[in-house]
Amino acid sequence: MGAVIRDGFAVVDKPSGWTSHDVVARCRRFFQTRKVGHAGTLDPMATGVLVLGIGKGTRLLSHVVGVGKTYEATIRLGHATDTDDADGNITSTHDASAVSDADVAQALAQLSGTFAQVPSTVSAIKVDGKRAYARVKSGEDVTLKPRTVTVEWTAVGSLREVSAAPELRECDVVVEVSSGTYVRALARDLGEILGVGGHLTSLRRTRVGKFSLEQASLVSDIEALHDAGVFPPLMTLGRAASHVMSTLRVGVQEARALTYGQRPAAPQETPADVPVAIIGPDDSLVAVAQVDSGNLRPVSVFQDPGP
């Protein structure tokens, strides 16, 4: 058997009802380290891809945060809520039975491409050092600044009647969004454009950059391995880095120089002005570096200097 990998990424399929921090806290025990972090919060209601950095892998998470994401969601029309999802309280009710698929398509056209979105008020965005949701919970009126987002609706299902409430309508969608986009806010804005209110009833993240559900493990499966005395498998640092940035393979001498903080010459094909994962002869991640005056300047070193 090969050596146990204790530093890297774990891609987890977050269960509904858990916060992202709940997953991190549980995985600290499973992976036997306090050094566990995640790249992008999922709401408690949501499920799907949560990328975890384990050990030295936490130092790569900042390169994951800004990547695009894909979601499967269900939007309910006719009810607006104070959280823009099903976990909130209903704030308005309208009859959505007259809304057609064509109406939805026209409204979604206004929520496509690159535009300014006002995030959901009940969010983790900080306002003067305090989370927006905490300010709302304490009774404050919170107004968040718009942010530029990019949205592409890749699938939109037909409207269907909600069995328990025939005046409401639901549709399933698949949407690809840039970092910082709130899918809850898209549901809210769709309802506002149609004049009937809207919110999410389900949300599943299927992709974060190059990380997908196909790579994800259930928390229960990770726990079962831990309980059986097996250290759960991790994506190696080298493979994880290759998912989030360009890579450059170097020889033994260049790898050793980088571990000492030295700046070996950069090959001409090395991308400039962006972080590059430096991969050693044994496929391990040596460092993250950037080209500086024709040399590789180590930004973060992942290996100890050799003998």
Name the residue among 2, 10, 4 with its Cα closest to residue 234.
10
* Separation of first and last alpha carbons in the chain: 26
Q: Are residues 133 and 17 in the same domain?
A: no
Q: Which of 7, 13, 43, 85 is catalytic?
A: 43
Q: Are residues 81 and 170 in the same domain?
A: yes
Q: What CATH number did the domain enclosing 120 receive? A: 3.30.2350.10
Rounded Cα–Cα distance for residues 192 and 290 (Å): 45
* Residue 43: active-site member: yes
Q: Are residues 134 and 51 in the same domain?
A: no
Give the model's pLDDT for residue 127: 55
- Check pLDDT > 80 for residue 16: yes
Residue 157, domain member (yes or no): yes
pTM, 2 dp: 0.92
Residue 3, domain member (yes or no): no
Query: What proportions of the chain, in percent to the nearest 5, are helix, strand and coil?
Result: 25, 35, 40
Question: Could you read off the pLDDT of 161-176 as tens digits, one per residue?
Answer: 999 899 999 999 999 9
Give the model's pLDDT for residue 125: 63
Give the model's pLDDT for residue 120: 83
Q: Are residues 77 and 91 in the same domain?
A: yes
Residue 108, domain member (yes or no): yes
Residue 287, domain member (yes or no): yes
- Check pLDDT > 60 for residue 1: no
Q: Are residues 224 and 268 in the same domain?
A: no
Residue 306, domain member (yes or no): no
120, 83 Cβ separation under 8 angstroms: yes
Average pLDDT along the chain: 92
Question: Could you read off the pLDDT of 255-294 as tens digits, one per residue?
Answer: 999 999 999 999 888 888 899 999 999 999 999 999 999 9
Give the model's pLDDT for residue 131: 63
Q: Are residues 17 and 91 in the same domain?
A: no
Give the model's pLDDT for residue 65: 86
Question: Could you read off the pLDDT of 61-92 as tens digits, one per residue?
Answer: 999 988 999 999 999 999 999 889 998 899 99
- Check pLDDT > 80 for residue 194: yes
Burial call 3-19: b when 16+ CB within 10 Å, e when fewer? eebebbbbbbbbbeebe
Rounded Cα–Cα distance for residues 125 and 115 (Å): 19
- Check pLDDT > 80 for residue 3: no
Q: Which structural domain, as residue segments, surrounds residue 191?
A: 69-208
For tokens 């409204």, the residue is: 107
How many independent structural domains does the chain possess?
Answer: 3
Residue-level length of the chain: 307
Q: Are residues 203 and 229 in the same domain?
A: no
Question: Could you read off the pLDDT of 108-133 as tens digits, one per residue?
Answer: 999 999 999 998 876 666 655 666 55
Give the model's pLDDT for residue 304: 84
